[in-house]
Structures are given as structure tokens and as C-alpha cells.
Amino acid sequence: MGRYDDIIDLPHYQSVTRPHMSMHDRAAQFAPFAALRGYGEEVNETARLTDRKIILDENEISKLDGILGLVMERIKMQPEIKVTYFIPDERKFGGAYVTYVGCVKTLDEIDRKIVFTNKMEIAIEDILDIELLS
């Protein structure tokens, strides 16, 4: 004889004085309580990885200058280039490298930036690599 044999076949109890609780309301009773508001977001932000900005050596800078010179020679044709550049993170040290493809409108030598036909601007000091596509 088992331990619960006397109650195992009894019908499930239903209160006659209280309404039946929905599954949604019942689950809400066991939902986690956030005692520290915003703590989860802070943990996720701390865990988010960023890249360090790569400092180019003289050879790499010379290579970029050469490609920018070619772009300047073809500026009237609005050459298409592929640029990999650094975007600093707004919340923490470091940032991310992204690649952008577009047609160059001008090279602003005073502000040291590339201006594209769609008005996108990239600072020359943030550029890691440039590829001339047309």
C-alpha cells in the first residue's frame, strides 16, 4: 500500500465561494520581482563588448594618404569607395568598426573629413581602411 493511496483518486477541489483564477493571473503570482530597478540593464551594458581604436603606423597612414590622393584626382566623377572606420561608443570606452560604401562628393581638407553624395561624413582620423571601387 502506497503513501497517498487514500487521496490519489479524490476529485480536484474547486471553491464554490471564489471564482476560478485564470492561468495568466495565476502565473503572475510567481513572476520574478525586480527589487533593483534597472540593475539588469546595467549588467547587460557592462557585459557589452566594445573595440579599441586601432592606431595606424606610418606605413598604413601613407597607404591611406595615397588612396585619398586617388580619390581627390577623381573627385569630379564622384568615385565610389568602401571605408572601414571607427565609431566611438557613447556610453563606454571604445567603440565599433563599421564599413560604409558610398560615392564621394568632396574631401574636406580643413575639417579633415570625407563627405559623401548623401551628406554622410566620415572623419579621416577615424578611418582604418579605404578601398577605391570606381
Indicate whether 117 pLDDT > 70.
yes
Amino acid, res. 7: I
Instruction: Round to whole Å and give the CA distance between 1 and 38.
Output: 54
Question: Could you tell me if residue 40 is inside a domain?
Answer: no
Question: Could you tell me if residue 44 is inside a domain?
Answer: no
Indicate whether 35 pLDDT > 80.
no
What are the tens digits of pLDDT across the range 1-19? 688 888 888 888 888 898 8
The pTM (predicted TM-score) of the whole model is 0.66
**pLDDT at res. 103:** 96
**pLDDT at res. 34:** 67
Q: How many structural domains compose the chain?
A: 1
Domain that holds residue 65: 58-132
What are the tens digits of pLDDT across the range 69-79? 999 999 999 99
Average pLDDT over residues 56-64: 94
- What is the rounded average pLDDT for all residues in the chain? 89
CATH number for the domain harbouring residue 89: 2.30.30
Instruction: Round to whole Å and give the CA distance between 80 and 65.
Output: 17
Question: Could you tell me if residue 121 is inside a domain?
Answer: yes
Question: Could you tell me if residue 22 is inside a domain?
Answer: no
Percent of the chain with pLDDT strictly greater than 90 = 56
Instruction: Round to whole Å and give the CA distance between 51 and 38.
Output: 25
Residue indicated by cell numbers 581638407:
109
Indicate whether 32 pLDDT > 80.
no
Question: Could you tell me if residue 3 is inside a domain?
Answer: no
Average pLDDT over residues 113-134: 95
Question: Could you tell me if residue 26 is inside a domain?
Answer: no
**pLDDT at res. 105:** 96
Question: Could you tell me if residue 90 is inside a domain?
Answer: yes
Q: Which residues contact 71 (CB under 8 A, 6 or more apart)?
A: 79, 81, 104, 107, 114, 130, 132
Instruction: Round to whole Å and give the CA distance between 9 and 128.
Output: 74
